Amino acid sequence: MRRASRPPGLRGSGVARFLRPGSLAEACEIRAAQPEAVPLAGGTDLMVQLNSRRERPAALLDLGRVAELTQWSRDGDGFRIGAGVPFTRIIDEIGEQLPALTAAARTVGSAQIRNRGTLGGNLGTGSPAGDGLPPLVATGGEVELVSVRGSRTVSVEEFCTGPKTTLLAPDELVAAVRVPAARGPQRFAKVGTRNAMVIAIAAVATALDVGNRAVRVAFGAAGPRPARARAAEEFAVAALDWDGGVIGPEVANRFGALVAEACTPIDDVRASAAYRRRAVAVLAARSLSWTWNEYRRGTCA
């Protein structure tokens, strides 16, 4: 009798069990009973680890059949996006209301990767270079965590604690992300070793809150976790003429320098720390100019 073969991506990986819950409640029960089981959503990060044999989990917890994770909805003045909603759907279905996140989603891998990859996966992986994370930090996004013990919500900035480390408890799953709707112009920009399908060397997300006359900026891939640059935010709020004045290059460049000062980049195979710091400064200066000019076009129309 012919023996059933493993899926190609798991061949030789040492995976012993493949668990497929049909509901979020069942997924939480399995997670509590078998915390060693690694959650599998889109699999765009995990399959790389399996195929390179850098990870050999005892079990995979496949969340593909959990319908609750594949839905999004309005949530007050923002959106609640299920952890299993792929980047393509974010772009197509709610992109206009979340411009920085949408811009980041467009830079994720290829079309095939965007069809599979999810924000929940970005958060679960906790990579400092996760494209979706700087926009979430810059806009005040929150992550909803669930377990058999209940649910809790923490800010994305607090959730990411270091390179691929998070506040996720062994029995918890990422259920959703809560993202405020844009309160003004937003931008996301990143630098990589090529123009497409690349891991970020440095990334910056900038968001204006016009009603509160506030600026928020976050960087990625230039420190152990995505983080805000609060000194740069305070400088921008004080330096900008909120009645629609022109932004000068000295303001934009100082803003970029302050964001770069907040970074703690490293040297690795993709770039030097010095290059990353310079890239962050340039991206931040440009993103502030872009968002401010967009704001001015609205106020001066």
Tell me, what's the pLDDT at 277?
98
pLDDT tens for the chain, residues 1 to 301: 333 334 434 444 454 688 999 999 999 999 999 999 999 888 777 766 676 666 778 899 999 999 999 999 999 999 999 999 999 999 999 999 999 999 999 999 889 989 999 999 999 999 999 999 999 999 999 999 999 999 999 999 999 999 999 999 999 999 999 999 999 999 999 998 887 778 899 999 999 999 999 999 999 999 999 999 999 999 999 999 999 899 999 999 999 999 999 999 999 999 999 999 999 999 999 999 999 999 999 865 4
- CA separation for the pair 95, 87 (Å, rounded): 10
- CA separation for the pair 153, 141 (Å, rounded): 10
- CB of 105 closer than 8 Å to CB of 114: yes
Tell me, what's the pLDDT at 86?
95
Tell me, what's the pLDDT at 48?
66
- CA separation for the pair 288, 286 (Å, rounded): 5
Q: In sequence order, which residues have a C-beta less than 8 Å from that of residue 115 and are 6 or more positions away?
A: 86, 87, 88
Tell me, what's the pLDDT at 233?
98
Tell me, what's the pLDDT at 16?
61
Tell me, what's the pLDDT at 194?
80
- CA separation for the pair 190, 185 (Å, rounded): 17
* pTM of the model as a whole: 0.90
Tell me, what's the pLDDT at 9?
40
